[in-house]
């Protein structure tokens, strides 16, 4: 894909694999919209891309807040009239035994790893459709656990690993569901596990010795974002560079409908009683 006139938003691109992807796509000629929570790191990534002859801008937002997700979408729409590629990469790993909640009162990993991407994608779909052909890439994981719809927020039997794996499978359910919705629009959506235990802050915080490099993970993400071989292909899950099968729940239409209904409720104007029910 010729990236010269393409605009690409990458969430979580001030560190780890997201940073490498931003640098590569910027060097290839794309206009990169860098996202993160830390302004100093964001400006550093922008400076790196510009020093290499690329174009970049930084957008600050904490994806643990749905209000900030909406503000991010609004800021992107204010800065560009096109969005060719959206890469939902930001996330929280498995570290921590204590259950945490987001600014909106939801289990934190579900909120950041899945729900923020659900809302951001929804907010930016009109821009993506107007820029078609366009692509959405959801950076998920091979670590997947079926969603228990009776306790999505994991109020019982919580563990960081369980929360992470559930949130990552939720991303894949969204991918398959959204691919159906977007048929005929020119917008494709695919998900992937970039690489196992990359040398990232997330992996080190989990106390795991890295197995693979962020460069290997970046190869896989850039492939889904730009490969001509994936033109028009949608609703797929990749393990690295290889197409694979996700957990069976991803292909369960009823489960995907349950998740969509829940997600719309959670990002909507839920009453305090509804929030308490899901917290």
Active site residues: 164
Q: Is residue 19 a contact partner of residue 58, using CB atoms and an 8 Å limit?
A: no
Per-residue DSSP letters for 117-165? HHHHHHHHHHHHHHT-SEEEEEE--S------TTSTT--SS--HHHHHH
Cα dihedral 85, 91, 215, 206 in deg (nearest 10): -170
Q: CA angle, 206 as apex, 202 and 211 as ends, to 5°?
A: 75
Hey, is 146 helix, strand or coil?
A: coil
């Amino acid at each position: 894909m010729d990236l010269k006139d393409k605009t690409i938003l990458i969430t979580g691109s001030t560190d780890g694999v997201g940073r490498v992807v931003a640098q590569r796509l910027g060097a290839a000629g794309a206009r990169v919209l860098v996202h993160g929570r830390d302004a100093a790191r964001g400006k550093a990534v922008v400076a790196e891309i510009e020093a290499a002859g690329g174009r970049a801008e930084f957008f600050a937002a904490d994806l643990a807040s749905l209000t900030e997700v909406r503000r991010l979408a609004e800021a992107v729409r204010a800065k560009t009239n096109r969005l060719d590629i959206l890469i939902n990469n930001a996330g929280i790993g498995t570290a921590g035994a204590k259950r945490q909640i987001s600014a909106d009162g939801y289990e934190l990993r579900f909120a950041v790893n899945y729900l923020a991407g659900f809302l951001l994608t929804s907010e930016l779909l009109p821009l993506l459709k107007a820029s078609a052909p366009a692509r959405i890439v959801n950076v998920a994981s091979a670590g997947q656990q079926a969603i228990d719809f009776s306790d999505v927020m994991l109020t019982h039997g919580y563990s960081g690993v369980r929360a992470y794996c559930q949130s990552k499978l939720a991303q894949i359910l969204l991918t398959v569901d959204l691919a159906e919705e977007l048929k005929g629009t020119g917008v494709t959506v695919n998900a992937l596990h970039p690489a196992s235990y990359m040398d990232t802050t997330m992996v080190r915080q989990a106390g795991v010795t890295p197995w693979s490099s962020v460069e290997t993970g970046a190869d896989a993400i850039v492939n889904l974002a730009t490969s001509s071989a994936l033109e028009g292909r949608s609703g797929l899950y990749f393990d690295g560079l290889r197409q694979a099968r996700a957990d069976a729940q991803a292909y369960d239409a009823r489960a995907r409908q349950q998740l969509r209904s829940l997600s719309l409720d959670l990002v909507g104007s839920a009453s305090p009683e509804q929030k308490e029910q899901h917290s």
